[in-house]
């Protein structure tokens, strides 16, 4: 084989190798982008779910309690029970948010 032909084939092989490596990097970056977009969507869904859970539960109860205190005399014990239940509901929602967040990051 002619030496010039050998050098040409070697150059072609190097160029093909570089192109394949660049394609591999592009596919790897695309896959990372896809995984990050999935993770962001999961976090967005979790935030919306938590917001709805807090809004539809403890926040509604708190609004009701404020109206009741404004309109009627509320027994101190009854008020404390309401406040404790709201506190517990919010604590449960936060704990669920923490658990969901920690299990999805694994």
pLDDT value at residue 104: 61
Amino acid 106: pLDDT = 57
Residue 62 confidence (pLDDT): 83
Query: pLDDT means per 10 residues in the chain (106 residues)?
Result: 89 97 97 96 88 82 83 82 86 79 64
pLDDT at 29 (0 to 100): 97
> Using CA atoms, how far apart are residues 16 and 90, in angstroms rounded to an integer?
59
The rounded Cα 97 to chain-centroid distance in angstroms is 10
Query: Residue 3: how many CB atoms within 10 A of its CB?
Result: 7
pLDDT of residue 99: 75
User: Of 47, 93, 96, whose CA–CA distance to 39 is shortest?
Assistant: 47
**Which two structure tokens, joined as six digits, stand for 56?**
């539809």
pLDDT of residue 1: 65
How far is the CA of 94 from the CAs of 53, 71, 74, in angstroms? 10, 31, 28
pTM beyond 0.75, yes or no: no
């Amino acid at each position: 084989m002619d030496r010039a032909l050998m050098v040409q084939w070697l150059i072609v092989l190097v160029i093909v190798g570089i192109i394949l490596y660049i394609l591999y990097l592009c596919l790897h970056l695309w896959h990372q982008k896809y995984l990050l977009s999935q993770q962001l969507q999961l976090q967005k869904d979790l935030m919306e779910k938590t917001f709805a859970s807090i809004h539809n539960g403890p926040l509604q109860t708190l609004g009701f309690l404020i109206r009741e205190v404004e309109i009627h005399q509320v027994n101190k014990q009854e008020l404390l029970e309401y406040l404790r239940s709201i506190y517990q509901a919010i604590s449960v929602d936060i704990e669920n948010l923490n658990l969901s967040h920690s299990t999805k990051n694994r």
